[in-house]
Amino acid sequence: MIGTHVVAASAGLLPDAASILHAFGPWVLAGIAVLIFIESGVLFPFLPGDSLLVTAAVLAGPLGIQPWQVLLVGIPAAILGDQTGYWLGRRFGRRMFREGARVLRPERLHDAERFFARYGGGSLVLGRFVPIVRTYVPVAAGTAHMSYRRFLVWNTAGATLWVVGMTVIGLVLGGIPFIVDNIDVLMIVIVLISVLPVVFALTRKWVASRREKKDASGGAASPEV
């Protein structure tokens, strides 16, 4: 199940966000920009995006940075990462989706196209807040040949809301001593909250599938004589 893989992968990586940030030393802002850029659209989803931003805000003082600096590097990195993903999808997308592939299967492309048709540009904003999903949303948009002007507007809005939102959450939580002393617990909570949309979507799909099977079974019953 996708939700299970998301939780497992994220739970293993996100709690290390503080260690990653400290490891960057004086290059912490550059490190934040690079990781967000890669996670946003270079087909490498298993990076601590949400927790990186929240932790950077919580530990801004010890890291020697200011929250506004996180916004200054995070927003452009997220936007540029999505641009890269979009053009990768537009140029190579349909060739990347192959029968038998583990992730880039043709049916997932069709699902993405239906998703865009149903939710429009808002899909680029919603997808931003779901780990792993945000990496493939811009690629799928390019593959589906979404209007670039439309993509740019919604991509900018989604990236800005995501970076600002995660940073503000970090600022609010940074004032709570328990949070600062138990940063690993915070990261796990962020993971669980982030994957809720995936869990809800999978649950709805499972319920709909069961209902369809039940209806088909009832419809196939022998007619009364």
Q: What is the pLDDT of residue 2?
A: 36
Q: What is the pLDDT of residue 14?
A: 41
Q: What is the pLDDT of residue 10?
A: 41
Helix, strand, coil percentages (3-state) for the chain, rounded to 5, are: 80, 0, 20
Q: What is the pLDDT of residue 103?
A: 60
54 close to 186: Cβ distance less than 8 angstroms: yes
Residue 52 token pair: 């990186």
Plot region of 100 (φ>0 → left; ψ -120 to 50 → alpha; else → beta): left
Q: What is the pLDDT of residue 80?
A: 95
Question: How far apart (Å, rounded) are the C-alpha atoms in residues 137 and 116?
Answer: 10
198 close to 3: Cβ distance less than 8 angstroms: yes
Plot region of 51 (φ>0 → left; ψ -120 to 50 → alpha; else → beta): alpha
Residue 89 token pair: 């999808």
Match 């600096």 to its residue by tokens. Answer: 69
Residue 28 three-state SS: helix
Entry pTM: 0.72
Q: What is the pLDDT of residue 160?
A: 95
Averaged in consecutive runs of 10 residues, what is the pLDDT profile of the chain (225 residues)? 39 60 92 91 70 88 92 96 90 75 67 68 79 79 86 93 91 74 62 61 70 67 48
